[in-house]
Amino acid sequence: MNKSTLRAEVPSRADHAALGSLRKLSATLLAFGEPLLSQLGDDAPLSAREQAMQLVITVWNAGAMAMPEWGEPELRLQLEQMLTQPALASPMRTLLQQMLVQRRELYGFDPRAVGEWAVTAQPDAGWVLRCAAHLPASPAHMRPDKVGAGGAAHPPDSRQSCSG
């Protein structure tokens, strides 16, 4: 694999079972952030990859926090207001605004928020995204197809390692 390729960490069986039918958060973030991440060159340094992922995660978390389960819609509103600032380059502003819409329209059922995360270089494996997923205190909002192994809903305030 090309050293510049960004991929999600491969999950353990326990992580996969705990997340139920939801795709790993790291893989979801890479798909969600693809419009921004694809603009990085093959030779982009780690710092540029981290900055790009920080933007992706900021937009993702603002969308998650705006959900009724988290009850913090002001975070998304603050981000939307920041995106209207003229200091932000128009193409970047447009891209981030589109990502906010995409978060709501395509991932509006996914309440996971990103906690700790890291982008690391792996020998002969490109770049790997690792992150911790956090769920709101009440998992009752989860769709029936989003329950964990054995039919149990995710535990409140669960912290799950993501990999992909």
Q: Quick check: is 104 in a domain?
A: yes
Q: Which residues contact 86 (CB under 8 A, 6 or more apart)?
A: none
Q: Quick check: is 1 in a domain?
A: no
Helix (H, G, I), strand (E, B) or coil at 34: helix
Q: Quick check: is 93 in a domain?
A: yes
Question: Crossing angle, helix 25-32 and helix 90-107, to 10 degrees?
Answer: 130
* Residue 146: pLDDT over 60: no
pLDDT tens across 83-141, in order?
A: 888 877 788 889 999 999 999 999 999 999 999 999 998 887 688 999 999 999 865 44
Q: Quick check: is 151 in a domain?
A: yes
pLDDT tens across 11-61, in order?
A: 444 444 444 557 899 999 999 999 999 999 878 899 999 999 999 999 999
Number of domains in the chain: 1
pLDDT tens across 49-89, in order?
A: 999 999 999 999 999 999 999 999 999 999 999 888 887 77
Q: Which residues of 65-91 are buried (b: 16+ CB within 10 A; e: fewer)?
A: bbbebbebeebbeebeeebeeeeeeee
Domain hosting 135: range is 6-162
- pTM for this structure? 0.71
Number of H helices, E strands in the chain: 6, 4
